[in-house]
Amino acid sequence: MPSLIVGNWKMNGLGDDVAEIAAMAGGNTGRAQLWVAPPFTLIDRAVIVSAGQIRIGGQDCHGAQAGAHTGCVSAMMLADLGAHFVIVGHSERRADCGESDADVRAKAGAAHAAGLEVILCVGETAVQRSEGQADAVVAGQLAGSLPDSAEGLIIAYEPVWAIGTGTVPTPDDVAAMHAVVRGALTARYGASGHGVRILYGGSVKPDNAAALLGAADVGGALVGGASLTAASLLAIAAAAG
């Protein structure tokens, strides 16, 4: 199965920037699957310029399908725009917006009901890792956040201390945590847990992508800043081999 490379643009991108998505769609060699989550304001335009060569998704959704939630976006709204997936539980949402594991689980359930694939993020802070709590923290997040079904589910392990810092865990460290994640998935879903893809995220760049993607049980990468240009994201995709 080809590696899955997902670009998370976060709060970046204006109308002219969809040209980068068009370039990604035209430049991918097929060695990896490319998905991109632009800001909500660009999803419909990104769907058009991607021409079916890249899957477009959202960076978040609400746990309800509709209602009195000013400023929020539902999973059904994302699907209506042509999105195929949504990211839930990113550490920046957990920290900046106070999202709990229960919130993340509700969002994953809503996304599944709307027919979207779900990229569910987990990861520990630097303090938690230094205190030897990394495995327990990630396992706890999974226990509280996983939806009822493994269908259409992808897990992204993103150590908080590596996101945007340039500090990257070793491939052995990544493999060890992915083993923890896999164990939690099989405990929760049985045999179906073996089919859930696990991505690594956190300061993934063209020059370290090959080593990280080569670690055991790494099915791809969730990429932040390095996904904003076609040149960078395509280089990461090429490193997938």
Average pLDDT over residues 51-64: 97
Integer Cα distance of 55 and 67 in angstroms: 28
The active-site residue, picked from 90, 92, 112, 178, is: 90
The active-site residue, picked from 99, 124, 158, 178, is: 158
Q: How do residues 104-149 score in pLDDT, each as one tens digit? A: 999 999 999 999 999 999 999 999 999 999 999 999 999 999 999 9
The domain ranges of the chain are 3-239
Looking at residue 143, its amino acid is A
Integer Cα distance of 136 and 142 in angstroms: 10
In sequence order, the 6+-apart residues with CB closer than 8 A to the CB of 204 are 168, 212, 221, 222, 223, 224, 226, 236
Q: How do residues 77-98 score in pLDDT, each as one tens digit? A: 999 999 999 999 999 999 999 9
Judge whether 108 and 145 are in contact, CB under 8 Å: yes
Judge whether 233 and 24 are in contact, CB under 8 Å: yes
Judge whether 59 and 10 are in contact, CB under 8 Å: yes
Q: Using CA atoms in the order 20, 117, 189, 108, what is the torsion angle rounded to 10 degrees?
A: 100
3-class SS of residue 96 = helix
Quick check: is 62 catalytic?
no
pTM assigned to the model: 0.97
The CATH class of 3-239 is alpha beta
Average pLDDT over residues 200-210: 96
Placement of tokens 């099989």 in the chain: 186
Quick check: is 112 catalytic?
no
30: pLDDT strictly greater than 90: no
